[in-house]
Amino acid sequence: MRDLDFVKDVVQYFNENQSTVRKTAKHFGISKSTVYIYLTVVMPNPKSEEILKINKEQRHIRGGQASKNKYLRKKRS
């Protein structure tokens, strides 16, 4: 496991940017599961929990929008 300062940086980035687990993982070059563990097990906090809840509620909308954009790009080609 990484040092505690790194974990704090990951959690702080996630909270301050109201990011997604995927974007946070990409930013730090670590896996999504590692980010999720940092947020829920290593350093849980109310703000992270709230952001995770919101992201989960919006997940189907973002996925649908991504598919729509994909097919629109294909259509234009």
pTM: 0.78
- Which residue range(s) make up the domain with 45? 4-76
- Taking each helix axis from N to C end, the angle separating 21-28 and 4-17, rounded to the nearest 10 degrees, works out to 130
In tens, the pLDDT along 28-77 reads 999 999 999 999 999 999 999 999 999 998 877 777 777 888 888 888 87
Question: What's the structural domain count of the chain?
Answer: 1
Cβ 60 vs Cβ 27: under 8 Å: no
